[in-house]
Structure 1
Amino acid sequence: MPAPTGAQHLVDALTALGTEVVFGLPGVHNLPLWEALADTDIRLVGVRHEQTAGYAADGYARATGKLGVALVTTGPGAANTLAAVGEAMASAAPVLIIATDIPSTLRRPGVVRGVLHETSDQQAMFAPVTKAGFTVTSADQVAATLHRAARLALQPQSGPVYLGIPTDFLSERTPARRPPRSHARPSEIPDLSEAEAQLAAADRPLIWAGGGALRAEAGEAIGKLAERLAAPVLTTFGARGLLSVDHPCLAPNPVHAPEVGALWDEADVVLAIGTDFDGLMTQNWLMPKPKKLIAINVDPDDAAKNYQPDITLVGDARVLVEALKVEERSGIAALVGRLAKVSARVRQRIKEEEPQAADLLSTLDEVLPADAVVVADMCVAGYWIGGFHRVRAPRKLAYPMGWGTLGYGFPAALGAAAAGGGRAICVTGDGGFLFGCGDLHTLAQEQLPVTTIVVDDGGYGMLRYDQDRAGLPRRGVDWDSPDFVGLARSFGVHADRVSGFGRAFRRLLGEFVESDEPNVLVVRAKMAPPLNTSPRWYRKESP
């Protein structure tokens, strides 16, 4: 019996890792992989653009916590994923980009010969937007290198990793090297006594939970600690859904609302879990540093790069939070009352500032299935979702506020839906949807359970707001939108349209999310941006 090919080694390694779905685009250099995958139980979702493959892998990773895999071809095919990989890096999504490269037999060191799709250093293109990159140097290393790359992508802090394979290795037959063993080290618990003492002595403790807390599955432990401390919990965009919406200590989002920001300002001890205090959450660090800051993080440098902690506890968020010993204190009833008032003020603010946003948010709260995954794009409606939507559970919101890539929503929703954990609800603008609308074909082909809400305001609504606010003429932000309903139907996807987010929207969305098929709902509406967008931040630089 002949030895397996490099392509067979790769798919065997993916199978051994428990891979269920791969997103990809065929190219002349990677066709052996498509052939090898056909003999496995791995679902290969063919997309219409490599950027979609990257975003879909990201959406799958965020919805599951598992490795998202994108399979693309050489040169421009690999380069087309870079925007998606950058978003995955900024949001710590574990994505593996598997890209072929030109045949090893045709490459000469230091010379670009003009081979089809040749790049002088394909791996180097990915260096700024990945945790690491690997290029296979012989066919017998394919499986071992893939295992190494996948392990690194999933290792906290998770993130994207690049794996390049010269195309001739895919057809070469060779015995495989044994994959490297994973040597998991037991997590050591640092001395917690000083942190425990500061939390016990705090008059107004507060917990700030970031994406690292969610990825560590620390929600239950954080919820119990918050109740013992009678401390409000503020969650970042990446940690939305960490606590249930009815948890007594969960503060309403976002911290960009002055009523919520006051909770931070009043705190005398802040316990920061799995966060780096990025500019988007802190209004570019205009939030004052707390009087006392305790940080829990897998990376001490990450914990200290924006606000210097007084105490840094390095390790797994769930393990360390569970290990903190703090006596139960009084004050939970008063906290619940305070948070209820804050929530009421925030909701009233929304109704007064943008009634259409209030209608959108209340409809999503009422009609979405319990297991729905909401995927928002970089658009005005998406900003309202990212800031104010009541997220019911971990991994039920994907929001591209790491790198902030327009066009994320629709392709990421394909990946979230392919994960099989519930219907994906994509909220996107007309501009972002046009980035990847060709993948309506993928939606129809795969019959993925996605409801896409396209908010059509006839242009780039956020940029239009910026120009109007600055007193500038509108340039490049307005257009006559295409017939999105006709476009979707031309691909065989059911679609309909409404004006605004009133009763007709509520009725149709309720019908669409109960369907077993993909569908598109186009909403003609214009909305003002919310407080969590930078032009509306309430904290200002001193004059």
Structure 2
Amino acid sequence: MVSGAERLLAVLAAHGVEVVFGLPGVHNLPVWEALRTSGIRLVGVRHEQTAVYAADGYARATGGLGVALVTTGPGAANCLGATGEAYASGSPVLVVATDIPSTLRRPGEYRGTLHETRDQRAMFLPVVKGGWTLRAAESIGVYADSAALLATTAPQGPVYLGVPTDFLTADAGVWNRIPTRAPSTPDVTPGVELVAAAERPLIWAGGGAARSGAGAAVGALAARIGAPVVTTYGGRGLVDHPHVVHGPVHLPEVGALWDEADLVIGVGSDFDGMMTQNWLQPAPPKLLNVNVEAIRNYRPDVTLRGDARVVVSALADAVPPRPGNGVADRVAELNGLVRAAVAADEPRAVPLLEAVEGYRVVADMCVAGYWVGGFGRITRPRGLAYPVGWGTLGFGFPAALGAAVTGRVVAVCGDGGFLFAVGDLATAAQERLPVTVVLVDDGGYGMLRHDQARAGHEPFGVDLRSPDFVALAGSFGVEASAVDGFGPEFRARLDEYAARSGPNVLVVRSAALRPPVNTSPRWYRRVS
């Protein structure tokens, strides 16, 4: 007999899963027993929300399926905020939660069984791509297979799978793996005609381009048609290419590329509010949409549906080459203007951005994170994870734990958001995860303090009593130290910590940084 727990892990292994993140409970202990001999690494966390954030961070870092294993009722409910971030950011995450025993469930009735909810799956439906609750132990193979495929098939996103606890020890029956097909290439002729007629094309590459591995294809297309490349937060680091702009469109000098383009080629982007300043960017004269689905925020003239890497490669091969038009020189000049604008706007941010360049970074929703997310020079695919899908404060540290399974990661966090998951310093220490936390302590919620001041109010409820972060980290067995500001000592200590083998925390005592122009209070496009 193959138990349900064993079948679940076998399906995950068949989908390339090598690590799972989870928290044990009375209902899911059979999975923990099966994990002993499964060959899949278990990273035990201290909160269910961390399990999903870590699975999300792992998925963003690797492109593979991130898996969170949690228990029933309150354990499952604790996952919802992190699952919403994965949904808004298009991360392939599978949340496997146990449910009460099927023998105790009565349809339409709430009986008060331990951890019971009226409909656990229904809690997740607003924040997942799809979800199921098993009705028979024999179906665990096909449903786990379907859930993994759904999560990893573009457009990617989180999926919920609920498993009544008695099914984990029951006979799982036979499982026949679901066959898959390679992505097809659509007819790109309509797109070729649009590109050939354009004189000032702009490539706008988003998270879908990054998830499909379309970097080389985007670079080839940019070079062939002489187009600058603007990347969204999800597309940062897509390709290191002379045509890539290292700054956000929220800076007027970069936003001008959109305004003057006669064709925008959107690759794997839905043109969300955070990137378009709530759609105050005017609709371009022509829009070519390369995506697996229709977009709603701007009306495309042509949509080429399919995998971004496949479609853009075909497009780059088919479009007529455009003679050199000095785009590389213009982008180089523009990137210089971006750096100068940062230095003029907030000179204290410059050494921070310089120090983290070259590292894989996970940024939280904090002022330092906004600077890194908008202006950090990211030159490697999947080099930045940033929670602007849903904007979940507290994402940075736990997501970095998942990414750190694959190697050294720098997490840029504020003092407020870091405390959301501070207990998982124990996870970092126990698993010896190579994560360096840059913890910027400005004594409160710096962005909200700025918002209050901007409205003419005195700070209220945004200043925080912080612990001694160095001593706190030390109590978990995690090396930590503190520096004042982002000067040379910060850079030297960061490089020193990043060369170590385990986790560490670098506390930066700093006056509040001025928020950058990519934060909504400073957007330059305004409703007239």
Match of 2:278 among 284, 296, 305: 284
| AA in 1 matched with 2:181 | A
Structure 1 residue 180, shift from structure 2 partner: 3.9
Give the corresponding residue for 1:182. Answer: 179
| AA in 2 matched with 1:472 | H
Give the corresponding residue for 2:336. Answer: 344
Deviation per CA, 1:75-108: give whole Å up to 9, x if none.
0000000000000000000000000000111111
Give the corresponding residue for 1:231. Answer: 227
Q: Separation in 2 of the partners of 1:30 and 1:175?
A: 16
The 5 A counterparts of 1:193-204 are 193-204=189-200
Q: Separation in 2 of the partners of 1:459 and 1:112?
A: 42
Matched, 1:390 2:384: no
Match of 1:221 among 197, 211, 217: 217
The 5 A counterparts of 1:513-532 are 513-525=498-510, 526-532=512-518
Unaligned runs of at least 5 residues, structure 1: none
Matched, 1:322 2:307: no
Give the corresponding residue for 1:541. Answer: 527
Deviation per CA, 1:165-198: give whole Å up to 9, x if none.
00111122x25222342241651412x2232122
Is the Cα contact below 8 Å between 2:348 and 2:486 reproduced in 1?
A: yes
Matched, 1:256 2:250: yes
Compared with structure 1, are the counterparts of its residues 7 and 194 closer, same or farther at alpha carbon in structure 2 (3 Å cutoff)?
Answer: closer
Q: Separation in 1 of the partners of 2:87 and 2:464?
A: 32
Q: Separation in 2 of the partners of 1:440 and 1:177?
A: 41
Q: Separation in 1 of the partners of 2:172 and 2:378?
A: 48
Structure 1 residue 8, shift from structure 2 partner: 1.5
Give the corresponding residue for 1:453. Answer: 438
Match of 2:393 among 377, 393, 406: 406
Structure 1, 340-349 or 35-44: larger mean CA deviation: 340-349
| AA in 2 matched with 1:312 | T
CA RMSD after TM alignment: 1.1
Give the corresponding residue for 1:75. Answer: 73
| AA in 1 matched with 2:234 | G
Match of 2:292 among 295, 298, 312: 298
Matched, 1:443 2:423: no
Give the corresponding residue for 2:13. Answer: 15
Matched, 1:39 2:26: no
Give the corresponding residue for 2:345. Answer: 353
Q: Separation in 2 of the partners of 1:225 and 1:196?
A: 11
Structure 1 residue 362, shift from structure 2 partner: 1.2
| AA in 2 matched with 1:363 | A
Is the Cα contact below 8 Å between 1:106 and 1:115 reproduced in 2?
A: yes
- Matched residue SS, 1:86: helix
Give the corresponding residue for 1:415. Answer: 402
Compared with structure 1, are the counterparts of its residues 4 and 193 closer, same or farther at alpha carbon in structure 2 (3 Å cutoff)?
Answer: closer
Structure 1 residue 331, shift from structure 2 partner: 3.0
Match of 1:93 among 91, 94, 116: 91
Structure 1 residue 4, shift from structure 2 partner: 2.2
Match of 1:137 among 135, 138, 151: 135
Deviation per CA, 1:337-381: give whole Å up to 9, x if none.
21122111111111111111111011222xx4xxx4210000000
Q: Separation in 2 of the partners of 1:431 and 1:186?
A: 43
Compared with structure 1, are the counterparts of its residues 505 and 141 closer, same or farther at alpha carbon in structure 2 (3 Å cutoff)?
Answer: same
- Matched residue SS, 1:162: strand
Deviation per CA, 1:377-417: give whole Å up to 9, x if none.
00000000110111121111100000000000000000001
- Matched residue SS, 1:350: helix
Q: Separation in 1 of the partners of 2:157 and 2:345?
A: 37
Give the corresponding residue for 1:490. Answer: 475
Give the corresponding residue for 1:470. Answer: 455
Is the Cα contact below 8 Å between 2:16 and 2:64 reproduced in 1?
A: no
| AA in 2 matched with 1:534 | S
Give the corresponding residue for 1:430. Answer: 415
Compared with structure 1, are the counterparts of its residues 507 and 51 closer, same or farther at alpha carbon in structure 2 (3 Å cutoff)?
Answer: same
Q: Separation in 1 of the partners of 2:527 and 2:12?
A: 50
Give the corresponding residue for 2:368. Answer: 381
Q: Separation in 2 of the partners of 1:475 and 1:175?
A: 56
Give the corresponding residue for 1:212. Answer: 208
| AA in 1 matched with 2:174 | R
| AA in 2 matched with 1:391 | I
Q: Separation in 1 of the partners of 2:495 and 2:205?
A: 32
Is the Cα contact below 8 Å between 2:12 and 2:148 reproduced in 1?
A: no
Deviation per CA, 1:223-280: give whole Å up to 9, x if none.
0110111100010000001111xx1211221111100000110101111111110000
Is the Cα contact below 8 Å between 2:401 and 2:435 reproduced in 1?
A: yes
Match of 2:298 among 295, 307, 310: 307
Match of 2:239 among 235, 238, 243: 243
Is the Cα contact below 8 Å between 2:206 and 2:234 reproduced in 1?
A: yes
Is the Cα contact below 8 Å between 2:440 and 2:508 reproduced in 1?
A: yes
| AA in 2 matched with 1:189 | P
- Matched residue SS, 2:348: helix
Q: Separation in 1 of the partners of 2:143 and 2:465?
A: 49
Is the Cα contact below 8 Å between 2:54 and 2:403 reproduced in 1?
A: yes
Compared with structure 1, are the counterparts of its residues 446 and 186 closer, same or farther at alpha carbon in structure 2 (3 Å cutoff)?
Answer: closer
- Matched residue SS, 1:355: coil
Compared with structure 1, are the counterparts of its residues 198 and 18 closer, same or farther at alpha carbon in structure 2 (3 Å cutoff)?
Answer: closer
**TM-score normalised to structure 2 length:** 0.98
Q: Separation in 2 of the partners of 1:122 and 1:376?
A: 31
Give the corresponding residue for 2:158. Answer: 160
Matched, 1:29 2:23: no
Is the Cα contact below 8 Å between 1:148 and 1:180 reproduced in 2?
A: no
Deviation per CA, 1:482-532: give whole Å up to 9, x if none.
101100000000000001000110111110011112100000112010010
Unaligned runs of at least 5 residues, structure 2: none
